[in-house]
Chains A and B, each alone.
Chain A
């Protein structure tokens, strides 16, 4: 007989709510395989996190954690989709080899994560400089701002990358 007073632990959290969470994720993703992965990630994050016994509303808590994981997942997918689209448009001789493709994608994920919290304008300026190779003067003209601003954006972006690079 279940003891109502016993504190929640990860095992009971898992047993009682895993299939419910799976359904919640499947409803959003429309695909049981990704849902299973993300449900796993959700519990992994909770395990790595903190005192499960303090959780008062397990399902609200689970969806809060799962939602964060879901957003990250969508953004990763969006990056991969944009990358694959760009790859498809590239003429054959310019396309990187399959192994190189995977490396590029991994680096893209890293850079993407580092630039993520930056304001759109700062990120745009940084990408124009570091990916497109534009001069600061040209970036200022394109963004309609001063050279000083471009340098400030660049510093903000570089600092952020340096702080997050591991």
Chain B
């Protein structure tokens, strides 16, 4: 019937195009976006567009894409689109949609997959610690008041650190394609290069300490040239814009993984804020004793005991009010 093909084309506002045609269009885009494009290239592309109505349609789509990209002001688009994120997020969402389509037959399977943790949330409350082994054999220890999300899929091993502090012992990736192991914080990325390291999310700042091998620190708003390599025994703090400088890891900084706080000539005010992390309620220290230096090993799982140990060794009194909710360290 004459005209039938034309009618169908009109009815499909967004006609499905074959993957082959889209691939050819993508190849033309790569060619024409190069810094040097010859007249022959342009003419060849024009010929291709004329060869088949689908080619012309694919090219129209390509032009719409280029129009959108060109409409974006670079100085606004780059920070927004290049922000750190979980690269497999949407694939995770797509997976989710796929799984939903298969319900209920695979419901059990889905929940098992969830427990294995490609999209699971893990939390510890104040004073709690926990440890988990990931599907790839890596181990994550969560310190007090910590929450993380895991994004593990075919292309990535990402831990999103939302609050608190974690220590990671990575395992060699057994997947055929080597997936980078990355910790994401508010300030940027820490990429593990086969290693044991800890990451702590603070207010507007991330602390990293490396105990084995190395990591690369990638602040999310800093240029690639500003990325920082940290070797074993080094630590650094970084903000979204600056990677900071590498310093030596303080002795005992991973002692929390054994449930202990190791203090070596630590200022009492710093000790107070450390204890505060593991204890509900408020812990503060009188300015008169803030600079007193203390040393020792204190249990984190029993902060009352830790405070008593302190009072037994140093000229410091522990004043508790509101049934221990409000603690003040004062001169005794």
- Contact in complex: B92, A71 (CB < 8 Å): yes
**C-alpha gap A116/B81 in the complex (Å):** 10
Is B33 interfacial (CB 8 A cutoff)?
yes
Total contacting residues, chain A, CB less than 8 A: 61
Task: Find B224's partner among A104, A142, A151 (CB 8 Å cutoff).
Answer: A142
Could you tell me if A82 and B68 are in contact, using CB atoms closer than 8 angstroms? no
Q: CB of A60 within 8 A of chain B?
A: yes
Which residues in B have their C-beta under 8 angstroms from that of A165? 61, 64-65
- Tell yes or no: A15 within 8 A of B by CB: no
A158 vs B27: C-alpha distance when bound (angstroms): 8
- Cα A118 to Cα B80 with chains together (Å): 16
- Once the chains bind, are A104 and B72 in contact (CB under 8 Å)? yes
Query: Would you call A136 and B26 a contact (CB within 8 A)?
Result: no
The interface residues of chain B lying within 8 Å CB-to-CB of A57 are: 107
A85 to chain B, nearest CB (A): 7
Whole-angstrom CA separation of A166 from B15 in the bound complex = 10
Write the chain A residue with the least CB distance to B62.
Answer: A162
Min CB distance B12 to A, Å, is 12
B26 touches A127 (CB 8 A): no
Task: Verify if B331 is at the interface (C-beta below 8 Å from A).
Answer: no
User: Of B58, B69, B80, B82, which is in contact with the most chain A CB atoms at under 10 Å from its CB?
Assistant: B80
In the complex, what residues of B have CB within 8 A of residue A107's CB?
68, 71-72
Contact A117 B90 (CB under 8 A): yes
Interface of A is mostly: helix
Q: Is the CB of A131 within 8 A of B94?
A: no
Whether A166 and B81, one on each chain, are in contact in the complex, defined by CB atoms closer than 8 angstroms, is: no
Instruction: For B74, give its contact among A75, A131, A166 (CB under 8 Å).
Output: A131
> Is the beta-carbon distance between A131 and B26 smaller than 8 angstroms?
no
B323 at the interface (CB under 8 A from A): no
- Is there an interface contact between A124 and B83, defined as CB atoms closer than 8 Å? no
Closest B residue, CB atoms, query A80: B80
Tell yes or no: B11 within 8 A of A by CB.
no
With A111-B72, A162-B22 as contacts: A56 and B90 at CB distance below 8 Å: no
Cβ-defined contact, A86 with B75, below 8 A: yes
A82, B78: Cα distance in complex, Å: 9
Task: Known A67-B119, A136-B35; judge A110-B76 contact (CB<8 A).
Answer: no
Determine whether A133 belongs to the interface, using a CB cutoff of 8 Å to chain B: yes
A156 CB, min distance to chain B CBs, angstroms: 8
Assuming the contacts A111-B81, A136-B35, asked whether A87 and B93 have C-beta atoms less than 8 A apart, the reply is: no
Please tell me if the beta carbons of B110 and A117 are within 8 angstroms of each other in the complex.
Answer: no
State the B residues within 8 Å of A (CB): 14, 19, 22-23, 25-27, 29-30, 33-35, 58, 61-62, 64-65, 68-69, 71-83, 85, 87-94, 96-97, 100-101, 103-104, 107, 110-111, 114, 119, 155, 224
9 nearest interchain CB pairs? Answer: A116-B90, A158-B26, A159-B26, A135-B35, A86-B79, A83-B80, A68-B96, A54-B104, A82-B83
**Would you give 26 A-B contacts (Cβ < 8 Å), ordered by A?**
A55-B103, A64-B96, A64-B114, A65-B96, A68-B97, A71-B89, A75-B89, A82-B79, A86-B76, A96-B73, A111-B69, A111-B77, A112-B80, A115-B81, A116-B89, A117-B88, A117-B90, A131-B81, A135-B34, A136-B35, A154-B29, A155-B26, A158-B29, A165-B61, A165-B64, A165-B65
